[in-house]
Structure 1
Amino acid sequence: MSITFNEILDFIGTLAFAISGIRLASAKHFDLFGAYIVGLTTAIGGGTLRDMMLGVPIFWMQDPFYLICTALALLWVMIFGKYLIHQNNTWFIFDTIGLAMFTVTGIEKTLSSAGHYPFWAAIIMGTITGAAGGVFRDVFINEVPLIFRKEIYALACVIGGAAYHISILAGFGPVVAGIACGVVVIAMRVLAVRYRLHLPILKGEDDYKKQEED
């Protein structure tokens, strides 16, 4: 049985996101079941929301692959937990990989759906697929979702989606476009964290009071 490019991306993204969720759950001292739920929600949350919005059967309810993949991620963290926990950048690496892979799969599933959606809608669906699972994860572990902080997160998905569209317009196939999208998402996240790049932050009441006092 041949394996498609999308299936490879799906596997990598699911495993990476599940590990990122379980890694953060371990830092909060969740038990095994709780960590598994956080990892599973991280892996399937964005895709579930996407499928509901597209009006198609929810992907993980038709294939136990995602449940099994999350179990493998939990086993991985249990075996290599000491190493993963002591490496501060491991969560970032797995989260960034998952974000990139799921952005690509979200775009391609939207474009191949029966709704014949325009490309801007596909970029939105790709962003939701990539970023929404992280929102659910952060809510579960009682953290402010990363997408709402000043870090460039969802914007990386949007720019990656634009790179996908440009690649298609340039005459490249979906595989090359998907690779371009994934590379751009990863590069954006790495550069944003490395150089502390972020969007302007809206000022609140306390900020205006402080300005008046100064």
Structure 2
Amino acid sequence: MTWDLFNIIGTIAFALSGVVVAMEEEYDLMGVYILGFVTAFGGGAIRNLLIGVPVSALWDQGNLFVIAFIVMTVAFLLPSLWLDRWKRWGVLFDAIGLASFAIQGAIYATEMGHPLSAAIAAAALTGTGGGMVRDILADRKPMFLRKDIYIAWAMLAGLVIGLGWIQTMPGYILLLVAIVTLRMLSVTFQWQLPYRKLQH
């Protein structure tokens, strides 16, 4: 139940994110679907490869594919109803998708009996993998490689869950709220990880 809830939240948030990027790049309908699907499901596919889950498990998520397809179709056909709001709230939805998928990936890894390092990696890859593939296909610099703090919040979810500090639904909800809040604060106040720029 927990796994399914976070999967649905993340799928909807990231499918919409893919649709927005596709329309910004002026892709046609097929491009919208492709970018939306890889954003929503790419992170899970990458995670499965690295923690030993058969890639074919991706195709067992039939209901999620239907949900993503409906969301993307409505978003493409009726952009005027939500696109302006997305421009204001898009970062929030992206943060919700990041937190949902990161938590879901960490739960998945821990339930398989993998160590802490795998929980952190699964959280990071599930939370950011779809967005990474989306940005590469759209010829954009991947968000998690930019200076603002992004992937670190996903790794935090993996750390907390991998250490067993949270194991209940209320705890997962609180963790999701915490990660979304931290992500939004980092955007609002432009928090950055240390970086170096080479002088040419």
TM-score, structure 1 length as denominator? 0.85
Partner of 2:135: 138
Answer 1 or 2: higher relative contact order, Cα 8 Å, separation at least 6: 2
Partner of 1:178: 172
Match among 5, 30, 35 for residue 33 of structure 1: 30
Is residue 13 of structure 1 aligned with residue 10 of structure 2?
yes
**Paired AA for residue 59 in structure 2:** M
Report the 3-state secondary structure (helix = DSSP H, G, I; strand = E; otherwise coil) of the residue aligned with 1:129: helix
Identity %: 28
> Post-superposition shift, 1:108?
0.7
- For residues 44 and 37 of structure 2, what CA distance do their matches in structure 1 show? 11
Pick closer, same or farther for the CA change 1:162–1:184 going to 2, 3 Å: farther
Aligned 8 A contact 1:20 1:95 in 2: yes
Aligned 8 A contact 1:160 1:184 in 2: no
- For residues 118 and 54 of structure 2, what CA distance do their matches in structure 1 show? 19
Residues 159-198 of structure 1: pairs in structure 2 closer than 5 A: 159-165=156-162, 168-169=164-165, 172-198=166-192
> Post-superposition shift, 1:79?
4.5
- For residues 129 and 36 of structure 1, what CA distance do their matches in structure 2 show? 20
Report the 3-state secondary structure (helix = DSSP H, G, I; strand = E; otherwise coil) of the residue aligned with 1:205: coil
Residues 142-153 of structure 1: pairs in structure 2 closer than 5 A: 142-153=139-150
> Post-superposition shift, 1:181?
2.6
Partner of 1:211: none
> Post-superposition shift, 1:72?
1.3
Partner of 2:121: 124
Residues 11-160 of structure 1: pairs in structure 2 closer than 5 A: 11-58=8-55, 59-87=57-85, 88-113=87-112, 116-160=113-157
Structure having the higher Rg: 1
- For residues 90 and 125 of structure 2, what CA distance do their matches in structure 1 show? 20
- For residues 80 and 55 of structure 1, what CA distance do their matches in structure 2 show? 40
- For residues 25 and 202 of structure 1, what CA distance do their matches in structure 2 show? 32
- For residues 81 and 147 of structure 2, what CA distance do their matches in structure 1 show? 29
- For residues 71 and 123 of structure 2, what CA distance do their matches in structure 1 show? 23
Aligned 8 A contact 2:15 2:40 in 1: yes
Partner of 1:210: none
TM-score, structure 2 length as denominator? 0.91
- For residues 144 and 124 of structure 1, what CA distance do their matches in structure 2 show? 21
- For residues 187 and 158 of structure 1, what CA distance do their matches in structure 2 show? 15
RMSD: 1.7
> Post-superposition shift, 1:189?
0.9
- For residues 80 and 127 of structure 1, what CA distance do their matches in structure 2 show? 32
User: How many residues matched?
Assistant: 198
